[in-house]
Structure 1
Amino acid sequence: MTDTHSGGHAAVAALEAEATRYVFGLIGSATMEMFDALYESSVELIAVHDERTGTHMADGYARASGNAGVVLAGQNGPGATNLVTGLAQAKAAYSPVIALAGMLSSGHVHRDAFQEVDQQALFTPVTKKTWTVPSADRVQEFIQEAHRVALAPRKGPVHVNLPRDVLSAQTPVVATRNPGRYRNHSSPAPDTVALAAAVRLIESSARPVIVAGGGIKDPGAWEPVAALSEVIHAPIVCSPGHGDAIPARVERAMGQMGPRGNPEASRLVLDADVLIVLGSRLGFNSTFYSHDNINPETKIIQVEIEPTAIGRFFDIEVGIWADAARTAGDLAAACASAQSDTRENWMRSAIEARKDFLAQRDADAINRTPIQPSGLFKALRGVLPEDAAITMDAGTMCLQATDQLSYGGPHSLFTPLDFGLVGFSFACGLGVKLAQPDRPVVSLMGDGGFGMTMSELSTAVDHGISTVTVVMNNGSWGAEKAYQRDFFDGRYIGADVSSPPFDQVAAAYGATGYRADTVDEVGDAVRAALETDGPAVVDVAVDPDALYSFRRDSFTHRGG
């Protein structure tokens, strides 16, 4: 007699075959067979309080591990709809999140059934692909396909709808396939003609600059880029949100470029005669799509794994569809004999300017009470370990912090990127910690964002996930309040936030809380939090008047 099991058990068996370590999920009646299978599975359930934050945890886990992060919405309808924000965030970050959601029974579709929503249509715009499993005997096939698509270049989130009747139906137990048999094992090599054209352009340059984006953050990818920089005497700037693409200890690394970067890196980009763009789209966060940030006279070599991204926002001289790190290595080898005193002087000048900039930044940091952002960032630079993984929210203080802090290498900085999501950082940090348990994980966010997601403190406590969350508490939605100050005559409405003392909230959840009211207290509190066994929260009182407008062009029609 053939052994059978439920479609829900088949789904968990498929996850086990994928060597899935964690599922971030919220229980619901639509997927009870899956939860029953997880009871005795090697896959550990991280029980969350909200599907959105569960998706952020899966996102952080995926980015930090390089493997898929799996989130399970146990309930169809409202449980599924709560996934949308997190999946849109993962799509913007090209993060391989696999979302599984219960769905109403197949026979109830289009009958205005309880909690009915068209989940196939709902998830299509925010994923690489969405499927609805038609029968229990195909559950494993669709979960395998979900992993294959999510992890194929360019990576991204996918979604699988699992109808109630599919999960409850019995299906024969079958052997699972080896994931290595249905995965991509390579990426395209650079075209030799395009590579030769790029070499000629680099050799003719006097002021080359390398732009390093998210496409060079895979293991072993930054070293060829650093080698190319050394060979051709080109400073390296990082695209915003990817300041960890090159370790801060690399002398030729200049920090983040563009309107959300630092002035020295941005100046180098504008002064460059050739830009070698590796794994970056030159998109909104990097350039605002403006020649104010990319010199129209600069010749651009763009290397991208996604061919449609090449030349999309700025005219290019050479486009190369290939793996960026591999191409950097090939360029370094081809340019090895192309020495230039002019380029060497250019590089030396950039290094000295960077040193001066960093020294001046420390000198200009304001050490007073109430705490100023510059003083807070200096204090954090002095206490954060070199190997820390740092997660960020959206908002102006976090946007400033991304370039104010230093990173030991790829997968050390996790931000919302172009989706600009508030309430991301804390939950993301929990996923990062599970992926990299031996690293300290520090999550920065504002008081508004933490207020959205602090219920996951109990998740962190229940599962012993030891992260440090630094709440930069200025009692407001700071970006919007700055716009109201600068462009709407200080007519403040809806911009102030009333929050409880977050150190006490942490303690109420069973975590450890700290409070910092002065810059000197910041270092002591963060240092103590890093040594805490279990999750910790540091509530930092930041000056509510220390507001900053990043986009001063946003409301020029109201500007004075």
Structure 2
Amino acid sequence: MTTQMSGGQAAIEALKAEETSHVFGLIGSATMEMFDALYDAKGINFIGVHDERTGTHMADGFARASGKAGVVLAGQNGPGATNLVTGLSQARAAFSPVVSIAGMLAQGHIYRDAFQEVDQQSLFTPVTKKTWTAPSADRVPELFREAFRTALSPRMGPVQLNLPRDVLSAQAEFAPMQAPQGYRNMSVPAGHPDQIANAAKLLAGASQPVIIAGGGIKNTRGHAAAIALAEALNCPIVTSPGHGDAIPFGHPLNAGQMGPRGNAVASRLVKEADVILALGTRLGFNATFYTYDNINKDAHIIQVELEPTAIGRFFPVTLGIWSDARTAAQQLTAALAGLADRQRADNWTAAFQAERRAFLAQRDKDAIETNPTQPSGLFKALRAVLPQDAAITMDAGTLCLQATDALNYWTPGSLFTPLDFGLVGFSFACGLGVKCAQPDRPVVSLMGDGGFGMTVSELSTAVDHGINTVTVVMNNQCWGAEKAYQRDFFNGRYIGADISSPRFDELATLYGAKGYRADTLAEVGPAIEAALACGKPAVVDVAVDPNALYSFRRDSFKHRGG
């Protein structure tokens, strides 16, 4: 039996068939047929935003936290659509399954310099896995199915669906919508048995092995499989940058984040290991700077990747295994159990664990607990007060860069960062999306004052929809990363680096949220505890020393691998 509907109604029916619970978006005249149908879609919670870019970050955070597709709807073509580009570029860098939908001018008006005309098909193609423009109303369900399937298929990523006005308004006959269970392939590849056997032998013969757990472990919640493998080898696990939550902080084999932006203990392990198991990581820029300064040139590298083109792309590998990282870890653990002659890296691991304990103790001891508030003192205060089950979102910029490895991630799936896109203005909006996906979990978003100033209008969204996150604004009155570069490499010739802002705690109150101010370090903990307990969206404005500028760890560049 078929049903006659408009293309806009069919679009909403397609979202319902995909079991969509949230749509983030900004209303616009180009998609009124969709919004009218959405009015009756009681199972879909529409979160009206103030900017399409931040709506995309919310969909991104929702997708990462839920494991489902995040949906964003730009109601207007032209400027409404172009505002999506930054958010989709961010989602692409994070391999986040965002389904982005935008209205588009009527097909009969294309190439006529029509109102708000832009070539959306060309615009979105470079920043998505795939972009479609629906040619007719009857094709709408088909393209929605393909959009969701593409976004959620390995490697996951954002997609764009452009819906012309005449397509949304046209009537057509539609068959019942397909449920995703009927057409979507969710299986993942396992490692070839011969490659697994060879990799197990290499690992079994290593005296200084290390596992690098990347997004392939984090995004599949594969920590248990990675830990079982590390325990079988008694070897340390380091995490790739931005994935410090891939392994629970409290596990004794967890060394923390490696690389030029990680901690010195984890970074040393990768520089000195004789066998490196890259488990679901590309060994990309933030992990290595693409140089042997951050990875042992003489090590045997076993790289496990779901994306075959990533294997051996940046560094030659001894063994490349095309597989889901969690599955390969389970296979390797089983293969090691069958090896009678294998070495345990007990001395290597015992030395690492002693160094790790000393590092963590020294981190607390070295924290500067004076006023004005220093970053190290702030991070120590945050470590003491943040709930162990908190989801933490980060912005780009040097304060958040330091915090990424200065906080403790007790629960896998608790850290959300811009990753390789390095986007300022991401964290607050991402946190709103995470909270929609996990409403019972505390969500804390860290931002600088510059980044929060970009996105502060979404406080209305948080208040209107009761999305109760806590945003900690580390207010140092400057663009810290750029000011540090100007200090270190341009003789302190500062231009455009200093900024001014209103008191964000007072601004939050004007929006109907709760605002807290921490002018001294002693006020930080109580302010965050009060914000977490207040039952409203909250902003904690923390005054941070503007002279506490941070560049890369200098030891990141000292090592030379030959």
TM-score (normalizing by structure 2): 0.97
State the distance in 1 between where 2:73 and 2:2 align: 29
**Residue 116 of structure 1 corresponds to which residue in structure 2?**
117
Over 3 Å counting, the alpha-carbon distance change for 1:518 and 1:421 in structure 2 is same
State the distance in 1 between where 2:40 and 2:344 align: 65
1:155 aligned onto 2:142: no
- After superposition, the C-alpha distances for 1:354-382 in whole angstroms (9 at most, x for unaligned) are 11100000000000000000000000000
Residue identity matched to 1:436? Q
Q: Structure 1 residue 512: deviation in Å?
A: 0.2
State the distance in 2 between where 1:550 and 1:322 align: 33
- Contact 1:203 1:338 survives alignment (8 Å): no
**Residue 545 of structure 1 corresponds to which residue in structure 2?**
547
State the distance in 2 between where 1:197 and 1:334 align: 9
State the distance in 2 between where 1:169 and 1:411 align: 43
State the distance in 2 between where 1:393 and 1:345 align: 38
Structure 1 gap segments, 5+ residues each: 556-560
Deviating more after overlay: 535-544 vs 168-177: 168-177
Q: Structure 1 residue 351: deviation in Å?
A: 1.1
**Residue 93 of structure 2 corresponds to which residue in structure 1?**
92
- After superposition, the C-alpha distances for 1:435-469 in whole angstroms (9 at most, x for unaligned) are 01111000001000000001000000000000000
- Contact 2:377 2:521 survives alignment (8 Å): yes
- Of 492, 504, 507, 1:505 maps to 507
- Contact 1:218 1:410 survives alignment (8 Å): no
**Residue 469 of structure 1 corresponds to which residue in structure 2?**
471
Matches within 5 A, 1:105-504: 105-336=106-337, 337=339, 343-504=345-506
Q: Structure 1 residue 325: deviation in Å?
A: 0.8
- Contact 1:232 1:339 survives alignment (8 Å): no
1:22 aligned onto 2:25: no
State the distance in 2 between where 1:313 and 1:553 align: 22
State the distance in 1 between where 2:311 and 2:16 align: 38
Q: Structure 1 residue 410: deviation in Å?
A: 2.5
State the distance in 1 between where 2:221 and 2:506 align: 42
Residue identity matched to 2:255? M
Secondary structure class of the residue paired with 1:57: helix
Q: Structure 1 residue 489: deviation in Å?
A: 1.1
- Contact 1:8 1:33 survives alignment (8 Å): yes
- Contact 1:38 1:44 survives alignment (8 Å): no
- Contact 1:208 1:233 survives alignment (8 Å): no
Secondary structure class of the residue paired with 2:345: helix
1:38 aligned onto 2:53: no
State the distance in 1 between where 2:169 and 2:344 align: 70
Secondary structure class of the residue paired with 2:551: coil
Secondary structure class of the residue paired with 2:46: strand
State the distance in 2 between where 1:338 and 1:167 align: 65
Residue identity matched to 1:4? Q
**Residue 10 of structure 2 corresponds to which residue in structure 1?**
10
Q: Structure 1 residue 218: deviation in Å?
A: 3.9
State the distance in 1 between where 2:526 and 2:411 align: 25
Count matched residues: 555
Residue identity matched to 2:7? G
- After superposition, the C-alpha distances for 1:147-171 in whole angstroms (9 at most, x for unaligned) are 0000000000000000000001112
Q: Structure 1 residue 338: deviation in Å?
A: 5.6
Q: Structure 1 residue 409: deviation in Å?
A: 2.7
Deviating more after overlay: 218-227 vs 502-511: 218-227
Structure 2 gap segments, 5+ residues each: 558-562
Over 3 Å counting, the alpha-carbon distance change for 1:188 and 1:342 in structure 2 is closer
State the distance in 1 between where 2:130 and 2:330 align: 33
**Residue 56 of structure 2 corresponds to which residue in structure 1?**
55
**Residue 558 of structure 1 corresponds to which residue in structure 2?**
none
User: What is the root-mean-square deviation of aligned Cα atoms in Å?
Assistant: 1.5
Q: Structure 1 residue 518: deviation in Å?
A: 1.3
Identity within the alignment, %: 69
State the distance in 2 between where 1:122 and 1:187 align: 31
Secondary structure class of the residue paired with 2:517: strand
1:525 aligned onto 2:527: yes
Residue identity matched to 2:17? A
Deviating more after overlay: 31-40 vs 178-187: 178-187
Secondary structure class of the residue paired with 1:335: helix
Over 3 Å counting, the alpha-carbon distance change for 1:261 and 1:186 in structure 2 is same
Over 3 Å counting, the alpha-carbon distance change for 1:189 and 1:115 in structure 2 is same
